[in-house]
Structure 1
């Protein structure tokens, strides 16, 4: 058996569940079995990207859990960070032109 944590942070709250899974369980299976869906029924756990300690795991359906893992469920970004930076830079340039 392997002890680990499953974590999800929504906009207004965060839930961290300590769970014990059989060795060899995949990350995705551990998340599905953790019961976190009861706290966040709107999550599509079969499709959400997963990570361990801030690093995305590409093969969450294959990679086995290890003792001490903190499995993080990532939600989709509301806005593209590159687009936000581009808009902020354009706004700053426009303000600079107006002030000169």
Structure 2
């Protein structure tokens, strides 16, 4: 019985951690179902006149798109459907612009 409670405790801990960014802030529930969001390299996202480009999919998110949000840690974080590398974007966290 004790093993059961330890396993349940570990699964709850893992569940909560999956909703956190590596730097410790929490991804909003509207962006993440505990597996959709992850930190991505600055090379995974590019900026063009038309908006942010998700390199893995070629998807374009205009700068004013409601899915684009300021990243609390100044890093890029991408939330895609089911956390897939080729999934549709749910949210994109970007560093604050200096201008």
Report the TM-score when normalising by structure 1: 0.25
Larger radius of gyration: 1
| Higher RCO (CA 8 Å, separation ≥ 6 residues) | 1
Report the TM-score when normalising by structure 2: 0.25
